[in-house]
Structure 1
Amino acid sequence: MAEFATIARPYAKALFGLAQEKNQIESWLGGLEQLASVVQQEKIAAFIEQPEKDASEKADMLVGLVDLSDSNLKNFVSVLAEQKRLQILPEVYAQFQDLTLALNHTKRAVIYSAYALNDEQLNELTAELQKRFGTNLETVTEVDPDLIGGVKVEIGDQVLDLSLQGKLNALFTAMTN
């Protein structure tokens, strides 16, 4: 995945710059989300990998499935197809989304918890995290029973592990060293 991130970065930045220029950030974000979702489907991924299909065929198929009306996004898909880079669309979408959040001075936080959080718990935790990291956060929650208790938070490349499993691992490491 790190390789996809490196390859996708210049594409995402270029597309984001054009989206800003055209004042189309939100609509293109939606189009990229649809494209990323379609590309991750098993049958579509297999079609994209077929060497006997030419780039225009692959691009036309994707554009037809997603029903893109914007000519700039259609051209972007064609460029990716010609460069044999259609499989990086999910990463381009993720980086485009990060650039959009950065424009709004917001970061994305993924909160893993052993059990589902209710709205009150999530709001309280989000407020604490925003204070701690000094930025607005867009939160996504995921349940991970392996944590046993507590939470683990990922914001960009930072990880805050307040889970019981994390504390047990730290204790184990301290005892064995």
Structure 2
Amino acid sequence: MAELSTIARPYAQAAFDVAKAENALPAWNEFLSAASAVAQNDEIRQLASNPSINVDQLNGVLTAAIKPTTDGMRNFLSAVVQADRVDALPAVFEAFVAHKHAFEGSADALIVSAFPLDVAQVQELKTALEQKLGKKLNPTVSVDSSLIGGFCVTVGDEVLDMSVRAKLARMQSALMA
């Protein structure tokens, strides 16, 4: 079977194109987020793989659970169900978010700090990272005391590790060489 990300790509592109044409990127983002969450539910996965459930029944259950607000969303959901690709909805959402971020010139940033950061510190770090990376960031902050001190930022596939733990590891590696 093909990778879910490969299957999801054309669906995400179609959803993005419709969302952009409707000038409704936030609404489609919310719809696909809900669809992704519903598709990951164990009961829904069992229902989707049950051969005694027909396409119309499954589409009705998903429509009731996700509550699409436009005809485009309902048609999209129906197309996914008819193609038996409900399992790909989480990957569709991820790919859609990537298209949305590329279009907006933004990215999600995961900031992991050794200690809790206040709003001003997060804003200062966000501003510095936006200047360095040249894109608007949507930060998510968490705390990991195993970093000892400092922080680690992940934006896409880029990682900036300024933690004390990483510095100690680099120092140990240099001393062992």
Decide: shared fold, TM above 0.5. Answer: yes
Distance 1:42 1:117, change over 3 A: farther
Query: How far off its partner does 1:175 sit?
Result: 4.1
Q: Does residue 67 of the first structure (1) align with residue 64 of the second (2)?
A: no
Deviation at 1:129, TM superposition (A): 0.6
Q: Is the aligned partner of 1:150 residue 2:150?
A: yes
Q: Which runs of 5+ in 2 are unaligned?
A: none
Shift of the alpha carbon at 1:71?
1.9
Q: Quick one: distance in 2 between partners of 1:29 and 1:8? A: 15
Per-residue deviation, residues 118-169 of structure 1 (Å, max 9, x unmatched): 1011011101111111222111112233323211111111111112222233
Cα distance change, pair 22–122 in 1 and its aligned pair in 2 (3 A): same
What residue is the counterpart of 1:52 in the other structure?
52
Show the 5 A alignment for 1:1-177: 3-177=3-177
2:56 alignment partner, SS class: helix
Q: For residues 174 and 53 of structure 1, do their structure 2 counterparts lie closer, same or farther at Cα, with a shift above 3 Å needed?
A: farther
Cα distance in structure 1, aligned partners of 2:47 and 2:144: 33
Structure 1's unaligned 5+ residue stretches are: none
Distance 2:42 2:122 in 1: 34
| Seq. identity, % | 31
Equivalenced residues, count: 175
Counterpart AA for 2:30: G
| Counterpart Cα distance in 2 of 1:170 and 1:54 | 57
CA shift, 1:176, in A, is 4.3
Contact preservation (8 Å) 1:98, 1:108: no
Contact 1:39 1:45 survives alignment (8 Å): yes
Deviates more, 1:163-172 or 1:6-15: 163-172
Give the Cα separation in 2 of the matches to 1:161 and 1:38.
34
Shift of the 22–118 alpha-carbon distance from structure 1 to 2, 3 Å rule, reads same
User: Kindly tell me: are residues 84 and 172 of structure 1, through their superposed partners in 2, closer, same or farther at Cα, counting changes over 3 Å?
Assistant: farther
Amino acid corresponding to residue 70 of structure 2 in structure 1: D
